[in-house]
Structure 1
Amino acid sequence: MKAHDILIALIGADDPSLFAHAHEIRQRVFGNEVYIRAIVEFSNTCNKHCRYCGLRADNRTLRRYRMRAYHILETVAAAVDQRAGTVVLQSGDDPSYTAEYIGELVRQIKARHDVAVTLSLGDRGLDEYAYWRECGADRCLLKLETTDPARYKQLRQGEDFSARLHRVEELRRMGYEVGSGVIAGLPGTTPVDALRDILFLTDLGLDMIAVGPFVPNPDTPMAGNAPGSVDLSYRMTALLRILNPEANIPATSALDALRPGSRTLALTRGCNVLMPSMTPAPLRGDYAIYPGKNAGTDEDGPSLASARQAVRDGGFISSSAKGFSPRGSHVG
């Protein structure tokens, strides 16, 4: 697609044709299956000051928690018992968990279970990521949030976009499957910004690409801004599917936070992954990147039942496969 065609699609010129095209490609590459990635949000402690995120160190209203190793491993085991093919270890930027601690968690998980392990731990050192790869970690998620360096610096309180991008590129060289993505509809952005994000992410050749709408958090400096558009998020993921046929593209939790049921609809518009939280119920609500972060999850305890129901509601089949991207060297 040419840039002009992408821009026209982003403003909603012909959503039915766009979504149908994205769905056809998704079905051709992935069939009727949806990969389930079970997320264990083991710490909501963070040393960053990102203006949009409820986990930011400056948020004094948030009840902080850190899970211990035995609790993390119990939660992983529960996810595996419910046929999750991938577990995602996710936290804020929390250096209290040493490289050795995380490495041992990865080793234990890989020794006990036949699953893929994804890390979503933020700006940890490249030497740490290399060590975790040696321990058996398969994937890394490291969101860019925006591909505009100036906006990135503003959102992340002076941090350098090029350093984040360098980390993404180095993770691929280590042999990880790498995922990244952006926030759709950030304050002050236009369809031209969305176009740039789509082209930039496509040029990176990622194994997974995530786009979710901006959801303002009342405990952040961006509390007063209007939320992003669910429809824009749909269009961006559909276009990314067309441009990246073999990438895994999740229907993000931010969709349901703004419009309940919209994640299921996203599965018919190019997305092929759901990433439900398996974080224990007493802690799950405190992983408050934005309000409704874990909306639609099972309230009584760690369960993937709601995610599987959403898959059925969309007319799809939940897959227990590890779900590596066909564009990479792994076999899922």
Structure 2
Amino acid sequence: MNTEKIIEKLYENAEASRGELEFLIDGRNEETAQKLSALARRRALENFGNKIYVRGLIEISSFCKNDCLYCGIRRSNGKAQRYRLTKDEILECCREGYGLGFRTFVLQGGEDAFFTDDVTAGIVASIRAGFPDCAITLSLGERSRESYEKLFRAGANRYLLRHETATPEHYAKLHPKELSLENRMECLRALKEIGFQTGCGFMVGSPFQTTADIVNDLMFIKSFSPQMVGIGPFIPHHDTPFADKPAGAAELTVFLLSVVRLMNPKVLLPATTALGTIEDGGRERGVLAGCNVVMPNLSPLSVRKKYMLYDNKLSTGEEAAEARAALERRMEKIGYRVVTERGDYKD
């Protein structure tokens, strides 16, 4: 196989075979990474110009019924700091964000039984009524189809549900027995069918991950054709069973972001907080590799340190929504501009 031809094929046709992707990933070097990044950046510029869409992230609860082995807010972590925001607190975050120029709000949290369908739909409806020109994105885990339908009717537009890994055996090594990849995929299918702009994604360098697993992820994303893809490096948390596992590499994360951009040219692709956490300037590096979304934190300052999914998570400084001017300067330095737009997916 020839690396140059695989990259050209990715750019021209937005596809590659399983074997070609494995060859590309295992044989990558700085030269191929730079070429891939340049082409991914070109493709993003063709579809979005130099616009960077911002999403205001509101972390509504650190309670979670699940016990995923990698997550700092897992159920059995007795040292986790638990909190949940009230409806009024969430709406205040939206008011502050709107004033800062955000036109998408992302409500993210653990799978918290307090946020029933009625409670969550009521919050969504209040945001929709108060901010009719904004997009509402939810990232609240696995729920029933009926629940998703109710939230969609209440006014939610988008739903992020990272699949984490598309390999069943690998999924079982990262999650407790009561969770299954089959159900996760069923949730994703239901979200798309209901009409949500749907996002999936995976961790790079998660424990036990192989190149074949990564290729499974890339092939799944291509076939599922989501509107959003969230990819970030695995970062261990000191109070989880994976505390001693090595973190994923920024280098491989950025490489795969470029592959995702070329295979899915119009997808909304965030440069994640995890990437910014693991490498100074990681978010800019992600943008230069084809990303077009960033998600600063709008959560109340009093809780930001409590929503700790992994160690050293950035939540203040230029990760914070209040520092939007600093974020704009950083993006301008690399030739991009932060825009006040919803940034919806366009077919």
TM-score bracket for this pair, using the shorter chain length: over 0.9
Using a 3 Å threshold, how does the CA distance of structure 1 residues 136 and 310 change in structure 2: closer, same or farther? same
Q: Name which of 314, 326, 334 aligns with 1:294.
A: 314
The unaligned stretches of length 5 or more in structure 2 are 1-14
Normalising by the residue count of structure 2, what TM-score does the alignment of the two structures yield?
0.90
Indicate whether 1:10 and 2:28 are aligned: no
Counterpart contact for 1:25–1:241, Cα < 8 Å: yes
In the TM superposition, residue 302 of structure 1 has moved relative to its aligned partner by: 4.9
What residue in structure 1 maps to residue 336 of structure 2?
316
Tell me the CA shift for residue 155 of structure 1.
1.0
Match of residue 183 from structure 2: 163
1:91 pairs, out of 77, 91, 109, with 109
Contact 2:97 2:321 in 1 (8 A): no
Contact map agreement 1:85 1:322 (CA 8 A) in 2: yes
1:246 pairs with one of 257, 266, 285: 266
- Corresponding residue for 2:221? 201
Q: Which digits, 9 at most, give the CA deviation of each residue in 1:86-141, with x for residues without a partner? A: 00011100011121111111111111112000010111222111001001100000
C-alpha contact 2:71 2:237 (8 A) present in aligned 1:
yes
Q: CA RMSD in A?
A: 1.6
- Residues 202 and 243 of structure 1 are in contact (CA less than 8 Å); yes or no, is this contact kept in structure 2? yes
Q: Counterpart amino acid of 1:149? A: P
Of 19, 22, 41, 2:40 maps to: 22
Among 138, 157, 163, the residue aligned to 1:138: 157
Q: Contact conserved, 1:40 with 1:89, CA < 8 A, in 2?
A: yes
> What letter corresponds to residue 54 of structure 1 in structure 2?
G
Does residue 236 of structure 1 match 2:256?
yes
* Structure 1 CA distance for aligned equivalents of residues 327 and 194 of structure 2: 32
What secondary structure, in the 3-state scheme, does the structure 2 residue paired with 1:284 have? coil
| Contact 2:170–2:213 (Cα < 8 Å) also in 1 | no
Structure with the bigger percentage of helix: 2
Calculate the TM-score normalised by the size of structure 1. Answer: 0.94
Question: What's 1:330 paired with?
Answer: none
User: Matched residue of 2:113: which SS?
Assistant: coil
Identity %: 30
CA distance in 1, matches of 2:278, 2:259: 21
User: Cα 1:57–1:119, aligned 2, differ >3 Å: closer, same or farther?
Assistant: same
Moved over 4 A (4+): 298-303
Residue 129 of structure 1 corresponds to which residue in structure 2? 148
Q: Which runs of 5 or more residues in structure 1 are unaligned? A: 328-332
Shift of 1:260: 1.5
Q: For residues 65 and 305 of structure 1, do their structure 2 counterparts lie closer, same or farther at Cα, with a shift above 3 Å needed?
A: farther
| Matched residue SS, 2:198 | strand
Post-superposition offset of 1:157? 0.7
Q: Distance in 1 between matches of 2:318 and 2:327?
A: 9
- Whole-Å Cα distance in 2 between the matches of residues 98 and 273 of structure 1? 29
Deviations 1:223-246 (CA, angstroms, capped at 9, x unpaired): 000111111111111001001001
Residue 38 (structure 1) aligned with residue 56 (structure 2):
yes
On the 8 A contact 2:163/2:201 being kept in 1, the answer is yes
Distance 2:108 2:52 in 1: 21
Partners of 1:34 and 1:318 within 8 A in 2: yes
Name the structure 2 match of 1:261.
281
Q: Which residue of 1 aligns with 2:91?
A: 73
